[in-house]
A and B are shown apart, each in its own frame.
Chain A
Amino acid sequence: MALKKDLENMTTLEFVEYFKAVNKPHFDRHYNYGKEWIQTADRGSLISWLRQGTWNEWAAAAVVAKLVKDYSDKVDPEFYPMFARQVSDEARHWVLRHSLLKKYGGNMDNFKPMDEWVEVFELPFKVALERPEFFQLRFTSALQVVEWTSVSHHRGVEEGAGDRYPEIKAVFRELLDDELFHWSIAERTWLKLCTTAEARRDVLEITTKYTLPTIDRARTRRVELAKRHAI
């Protein structure tokens, strides 16, 4: 990658493009993963898979809301409207996924979130608090980067659902539109705040060392358990 040698001198826009380019193979894997999974899923595994997904929507909303209410002195208040829209989207997704779950005959009774997904939603504050000077950058590198993997994954699900699961196709099309917006919060955060080579190295490191392995584990395990109707 030609830009790699020059993290210091690239513009913030170039950095965003660089970030996407170096991580693209990873996101492509999430697409394929979603597409393959939905093509083989039976109704029981769908229910299992949706139960965890439904909880994830609430967890994402709660984490973003917690960011504003507990760490306002560490984030740029100009981002409040975007965070509010993400909370609002996640809350709407909570409704959508809940309805989908019911449509397939499932519910959230006795649900216990998977440890791997709990870890996904604990990660943003964990890494952010370790380096307060990069608080918002690190938070975003953990949370909104996951959103980009969700865009890829859900696009795979939407395209793989075909005529077997038309409701899944419709709902996930809407979900991934919003997730694309959530990912753009990361892009905008970096455009505004990721201005030094040190910060850029940190964002890349958090992403590759923590965020992507954590979300990989969570997604893989979720499908494994869903196939056994075990969530």
Chain B
Amino acid sequence: MTEQVPKIAEVKATDFEPVAWYGYVTLLKTRKKEFVDQYLNDLLTMLDYVIYCLNHAAASSREIADEPRLYETLGRILVVSTWHRRCLLNLIEYRTGSRPKLVRTAYDAFNKTLETAEDMADVLAGARLCIRLLFSAVRAGIYYCPDRAIRDVLLMINERDLDYDVAMEDFIGKYVGEPDVFEPSKDVANIVLDVCLQHFPQEPVETLPPPRWVDVCDIDELSEGGLKLVNADGWMEILLAKVDGKIYAVENICTHERGFLSDGITLGTSISCIDHLAKFDLRTGRVLTQPHHGRARPLAVFPTQVEKNKVRVGLYF
């Protein structure tokens, strides 16, 4: 009897989003300057790659240009992305004393993309993948970067996440019927993944515990199986959940389309957003079930402790 070999599900390029997220979370938790500097350079590289791809569409896509409103959207996205680029340059210059010029890695990767891409849809899908990975990295910085100035800039960049998402889907939609699920070709995906993930260290790195703990509520306010929404530092909504006597803390805003997880449904150590049913693991932030449309990203999670009847959350900034 022939042994049945289980089939391994095909890995999609978008499956690397959690890789980018956990990779950058780990690097930032080391709080080492060299890693933070590298992190900023990586963001700049990813953004530049996207800027080149968008310029390519602006210069060469008759399909997009033939729809004036869509072409206008492309222009606006370019303005936003180059503004974000300038913000990153300022941060890098502030931290290192030198201001990058042309980011050769991004430009070379873009030119390689043009050589290997099957068509404009492929280039745009590559750009979208890069944007997804970029925003995963940006989100990691918001919750785990030790530098407040960096976090402020990243918060501003992250505000445009959905704008990029919607626009890219519209651009790709000029070429393919189901733009939301359209993936780049393997060659283009490999180029993008190389751009985004190339600087992760080969050796394990040592992460540090959070530098500060904040009181968020009394232990009595949290019942077994219950949820409690708290506010940290006046800007960040954190959701506490008590399961089997353990307290978990996660960001409260769903990473799919910004639903409020505090209105969600818990089952054991999972929580589902009631907006589109993205489901997350409260212990790790991992996405357990993706919604039917779009993609959720891993949730930021924070360590908790109880001291003198106060629930405390560990923050990394």
Contact = CB atoms under 8 A, between A and B. Distances in A.
A31 B83 CA distance: 34
Contacts, number: 90
Interface string A78-99: 1011011101111110110010
Interface residues of B, number: 30
A61 interface: yes
A68 interface: yes
A30 to B, nearest CB: 26
A58 interface: yes
Nearest to A88: B75
Nearest to B104: A73
Interface in B33-69: 51-52, 55-60, 65, 68-69
Interface in A54-111: 58, 61-66, 68-70, 72-73, 76-78, 80-81, 83-85, 87-92, 94-95, 98
B249 to A, nearest CB: 38
A198 B163 CA distance: 45
A95 B73 CA distance: 11
Contact of A69 (B52, B65, B82, B86): B52
Nearest to B58: A65
A84 B79 contact: yes
A94 B58 contact: no
A111 to B, nearest CB: 12
Interface string B87-124: 00100000000001111000100100000000000000
B56 A69 contact: yes
Contact of A66 (B59, B69, B75): B59
Given A88-B76, A89-B75, A94 B68 contact: yes
Name the 6 nearest CB pairs between A and B, nearest first.
A88-B75, A65-B58, A91-B75, A65-B59, A69-B55, A84-B82
